[in-house]
Amino acid sequence: MIAVRGYEGRRVGVLGMGRSGLATARALAAGQATPVCWDDGEAGRAAAEAEGFAVEDLAREGPWRKGMGLLVVSPGVPHLYPAPHPAVAQAQAAGAQLDNDVGLFFRGMAMTDAEARVVAVTGSNGKSTTTALIAHILRGAGRPVQMGGNIGRGVLDLDPLADGETVVLELSSYQLELARALAPDVAVFLNLSPDHLDRHGGEGGYFAAKRRLFELGAPSACVIGVDDRHGRFLAAQSREADPEGARLIEIASGARLRGPGWSVFMNRAFLTERRRGEQAAALDLRACPGLIGAHNHQNACAAYGAARVLGLGPKAIEAGLRSFPGLPHRLQLLGERNGVRFVNDSKATNADAAEKALLSFERVRWIAGGVPKEGGIAPLAPLFGRVAKAYLIGQAAQDFAAALGATPHELCGDLATAVARAATEAEPGDVVLLSPACASFDQFRDFEARGEAFAALAQAVVAEPDGGQTDGEEGPR
């Protein structure tokens, strides 16, 4: 745990008692502050009380009359759009400041003597894989490393920082938009696609939250994906502050970069580094089974760039790329039966993420649906030719069926039915792909629970004895 200093003997409000909220309360208490906790849910309040923390309704005026000057807001709690939480409104009316655990983490870094470095990764898609890949590469090269933020451990639940250590953080827009301090050594921006627009008041607000990592933090080095217009804009701004090209690495999976600066991009199957107009390295990503698909190629370019500015050489990075096993629920190969592969991409909760999955395979038995996101799957129409058949589940099934039009599809209702139908109809060379382009909350707790359910169903199919073949005769399919 990282103790939060600077609030000794003071009451500090903590709103939201999920993973980050409880970790924040513990960190404040370790720094001799008195956390005053609140959660709208009874279970969250009970969790705080079980650890001995004071619980008061922060949406009422009473707690703020006692001189609290800070409210630490958990990422899932809105502070502006679509409307401020009542506790946030009370805190602002009392003149209190707002912050979150990420802001407290970076403020605490300024108070420590440890010579540690921080890499912060943001973007719409690929954050978790890139964060885990950077940590994996560093660990494989013998560097001490911790990983946390929006993946693994909360930022204040990490161990106290040590000399020579690197902390790799995945940071979402929710975490970035409210942090009062952001000071990474290396900031990574991958991409931006429409998501969480109600929370940020539109796409501009969403991008503004991401940009704070580069504007407020003034990182020593920037690794920026330029495959979309938001990244190109951000890179252009960063380039103005870096005329020598020493602190900006531009990355791309969909274009060969030929500028005079520092770049990492895909040249067919080869990750290529260029610096000062010359090629510096080229790595064959076909030897990296945990990094399937163009979007994972972008993740690999980003991780390579971050590792380079941290001082690693190409050979050490290549070893890490080759040994990376991938993350669950992100184009995770579960197994193969009779030439049919089963791939779990449950993390694909919007059309942009599902596009990356569809682009990774030639012939797909596509399981899609759930709670739809704005825009549905209409943007994926150019890829419907890759879909041998779609198996639709959840709330979005009827709308997705309309969008698919003449593309073969079937309303399956639930995941078990979809897997059974896809497995029965799949032919050698097909990929049975769960890439829902939807949130999971209509039928599952979260995308992880959905992916675990799919994995269990798919692995049961893969494990069927003799692949359905008996004495040369075709068995049931």
Any catalytic annotation for residue 150? yes
Q: Which helix (H) or strand (E) holds 188?
A: strand 186-189
Residue type, 284: D
Please tell me whether 296 is known to bind a ligand: no
Please tell me whether 356 is known to bind a ligand: no
Please tell me whether 123 is known to bind a ligand: yes
Q: Give the angle 430-435-437 at the CA atoms, nearest 5°.
A: 140
**Integer Cα distance of 24 and 22 in angstroms:** 5
**Catalytic one among 79, 85, 100, 127?**
127
Residue type, 153: R
DSSP per residue, 372-430: EPTTTTGGGGGGGGGEEEEEEESTTHHHHHHHHTTS-EEEEESHHHHHHHHHHH--TT-
Please tell me whether 74 is known to bind a ligand: no
Any catalytic annotation for residue 127? yes
Please tell me whether 129 is known to bind a ligand: yes
Please tell me whether 128 is known to bind a ligand: yes
**Catalytic one among 196, 200, 329, 409?**
196
User: Secondary structure of 109-141 in the HEC alphabet?
Assistant: HCCCCCCCEEEEEECCCCHHHHHHHHHHHHHHC
Contact predicate 232/225, CB 8 Å: no
**Catalytic one among 150, 296, 299, 350?**
150
Length of the chain: 477
Please tell me whether 326 is known to bind a ligand: no
Q: Give the angle 312-315-316 at the CA atoms, nearest 5°.
A: 50
Helices (H), 162-240: 173-176, 197-200, 203-215, 229-240
**Integer Cα distance of 58 and 91 in angstroms:** 8
Nearest-Å Rg of the Cα atoms of the chain is: 24
Contact predicate 124/190, CB 8 Å: yes
Residue 449 CB partners (closer than 8 Å, separation 6+): 440
**Integer Cα distance of 128 and 337 in angstroms:** 29
Any catalytic annotation for residue 315? no
Catalytic residues: 127, 150, 196
Query: Which residues sit in the known binding site for ATP?
Result: 123-129
Extract the annotated binding site.
123-129
